Chain A
């Protein structure tokens, strides 16, 4: 057990707690018994940004990192929940298999990916992570372990996928991997001049395997929403299966608070945009740089300085996308706060999970350095997002007001019922679930 100060990837907020590492899936129940009366939450690699993996007792899945079985004919992988996507890539890319859905970092555990029901650049075609999880095993508040799937204990499955660890601790999972012809992607980059053109491109390329846009959130007026739209397909003209490299670069210390200010951010955004090709350009890139560009720099979260940062990610329904995104971007431009990286993506339809984030529409993720004036701005953005029928991603959230989680997540009451049915509400809480009254 380690007592100390912990935080999410955004390094805001920080909280003290005890980190407990059960040695095996069948030891989780004794860890629960030993934890006393305080709040308990599972924790993987700590890559949720805010306070969703913070509690008095955090059950670390680090030692639940064993594979159970892989079937090279069907691509079905059984593993424990602490196995990371990084490890899975190392095992399976050389055999021609790839995670069916991957977020923008490979440093997440399988348990964390399920709990946040993460999505990737293929959400419009392949849905969330949970769509490729035929079954999982969960340790409940009473220490018993239960298997659930879309068919068996489906209430628990629907609540656990996207449930932010609030139903219990995921200990094992079955994943359906996807076949890849090579480790190479054909990436097409298209530069757009404004938001309307960016959104139109997502429409036009709705059948692309992967799509995402990097957006210049500090663009001059009239150029609001100008982006580099990136499309990708697994390259079937080659059969090389090379692994990603181990990151060599690391941010050695907390950057001074002023490093990322409005001027450097504006400059970076403008340069990045200008680097984009005038004409649509296709090139072949490794999956490492296509999916995980930021993983090349370890501890990049220190760039935002000691006080940390907040990643603000919301989704707006399709029909409200243009109007809502315009309001949000205008409001940010007026504020003088800027985001180093702003990522826009068109999402496919929502699933049946009670708290999964995606819905058909557009999601935008922005990073803001923590400073006192930031929170009032984010409150204003919350109002815009929810007035347009959108919601905030819980895996990123560190500061949302409680009223909004009810507006954004209409199945929150169903989720609460499931939690009560299995006694989870008395044991499993994070700082986030307390803050939001989940």
Chain B
């Protein structure tokens, strides 16, 4: 299987890539930080993957086309694309600093939408393949603690929903991966409880979803399907009495 991973040095993407590497996959990794990318590539090669890399900032939309062009010509055929980049905005700071809020939204939503639309067209031309994106359970309900991040993830999820509709019945699959609480450097400052999963658990499950060609919306770990079912059905008045 050949997989293109955008935001490859994020801890969840890294854990996913390691699983794919042990299966001997062909990987094409895209990330901003050249040193981190080189370090990850060595790790994955040691684990058995054939690896190419490209340094690219997802907010640099002008060079997006050439980045994808190079990825496609290097791999020849792309079975799976995993878009995994993201930041966790400081909600309180963004409420006071609007330009900062917009910049975070651009990274988490706009950059992802641009990539998804472009990649969708390429997969359509190719006739088959999977577009997988890591969104979040945070996109399912606006909550005071995290609604900027949630709004960005919701935008991506709606786009994926539409793409899935567009490609239904074709060879192109669309997968919306919604992790719950994951212990990664992005969430290093959060107190952890029993609901938290490790990046390795989540990456293992994502790799498995990619390997079996899953599509639609998937929660990782699975228990978040049930948790979100409850949170989505909380009446507004009740939700507003929580600190969620």
Task: Give the distance in Å from the alpha carbon of A21 to the alpha carbon of B189 in the complex.
Answer: 11
Q: Which residue of B lies closest to A95 (CB)?
A: B48
Q: Is the CB of B35 within 8 A of A67?
A: no
Q: A1-B188, A2-B188 are in contact. Are A24 and B39 (CB under 8 A)?
A: yes
> Min CB distance, B221 to chain A, in Å?
16
Q: Is the CB of B42 within 8 A of A66?
A: yes
Q: A24-B35, A24-B39, A26-B35 are in contact. Are A68 and B46 (CB under 8 A)?
A: yes
Q: Is the CB of A91 within 8 A of B189?
A: no
What are the residues of chain B within 8 A of A1 when measuring CB–CB?
188-189
Q: Is the CB of B185 within 8 A of A23?
A: yes
Task: Give the distance in Å from the alpha carbon of A21 to the alpha carbon of B46 in the complex.
Answer: 23
Task: Give the distance in Å from the alpha carbon of A63 to the alpha carbon of B188 in the complex.
Answer: 12
A1-15 contact mask (Cβ, 8 Å, vs B): 1 or 0: 110000000000000
What are the residues of chain A within 8 A of B39 when measuring CB–CB?
24, 66
Q: Which parts of B149-204 form the interface with A (CB within 8 Å)?
A: 185, 188-189
Determine whether A273 belongs to the interface, using a CB cutoff of 8 Å to chain B.
Answer: no
What are the residues of chain A within 8 A of B43 when measuring CB–CB?
66-68
Q: Is the CB of A67 within 8 A of B42?
A: yes
- Total interface residues on A, CB under 8 Å, equals 13
Determine whether A404 belongs to the interface, using a CB cutoff of 8 Å to chain B.
Answer: no
Q: Is the CB of A70 within 8 A of B35?
A: no
What are the residues of chain A within 8 A of B185 when measuring CB–CB?
21, 23, 63
A86-112 contact mask (Cβ, 8 Å, vs B): 1 or 0: 000001000000000000000000000
**Most chain B CB within a 10 A radius of its CB, from A21, A24, A67, A70:** A67
Q: Is the CB of A21 within 8 A of B35?
A: no
Determine whether B40 belongs to the interface, using a CB cutoff of 8 Å to chain A.
Answer: yes
Q: Is the CB of B40 within 8 A of A66?
A: yes
> Min CB distance, B160 to chain A, in Å?
29
> Min CB distance, B68 to chain A, in Å?
27
Task: Give the distance in Å from the alpha carbon of A66 to the alpha carbon of B185 in the complex.
Answer: 15
Determine whether B47 belongs to the interface, using a CB cutoff of 8 Å to chain A.
Answer: yes
B125-159 contact mask (Cβ, 8 Å, vs A): 1 or 0: 00000000000000000000000000000000000
Q: Which of these, A2, A63, A69, A91, contacts B42 with CB under 8 Å?
A: A69
Task: Give the distance in Å from the alpha carbon of A163 to the alpha carbon of B189 in the complex.
Answer: 31
**Most chain A CB within a 10 A radius of its CB, from B11, B40, B43, B189:** B43
What are the residues of chain B within 8 A of A23 when measuring CB–CB?
36, 185
Task: Give the distance in Å from the alpha carbon of A2 to the alpha carbon of B185 in the complex.
Answer: 11
Q: A26-B35, A67-B47, A91-B47 are in contact. Are A21 and B188 (CB under 8 A)?
A: yes
Q: Which residue of A lies closest to B11 (CB)?
A: A63
What are the residues of chain A within 8 A of B47 when measuring CB–CB?
67, 91
Q: Which parts of B27-58 form the interface with A (CB within 8 Å)?
A: 35-36, 39-40, 42-43, 46-47
Q: Is the CB of B46 within 8 A of A91?
A: yes
Task: Give the distance in Å from the alpha carbon of A69 to the alpha carbon of B42 in the complex.
Answer: 7
Task: Give the distance in Å from the alpha carbon of A21 to the alpha carbon of B192 in the complex.
Answer: 15
Q: Which parts of A31-83 form the interface with B (CB within 8 Å)?
A: 63, 66-70
> Min CB distance, A362 to chain B, in Å?
39
Q: Which parts of B9-38 form the interface with A (CB within 8 Å)?
A: 11, 35-36
Q: Which of these, B36, B46, B188, B189, contacts A67 with CB under 8 Å?
A: B46
Q: Return 9 A-B CB contacts under 8 Å, by A number.
A: A1-B188, A2-B188, A24-B39, A26-B35, A63-B185, A67-B43, A67-B46, A69-B42, A91-B46
What are the 8 tightest A-B residue pairs by CB atom distance, in nearest-first order?
A67-B46, A66-B43, A67-B43, A70-B46, A68-B42, A66-B39, A69-B46, A23-B185
List 8 additional contacts besides A2-B188, A23-B185; criterion CB under 8 Å: A2-B189, A26-B35, A66-B40, A67-B42, A67-B47, A70-B46, A91-B46, A91-B47
Residues of B within 8 A of A (CB): 11, 35-36, 39-40, 42-43, 46-47, 185, 188-189
Residues of A within 8 A of B (CB): 1-2, 21, 23-24, 26, 63, 66-70, 91
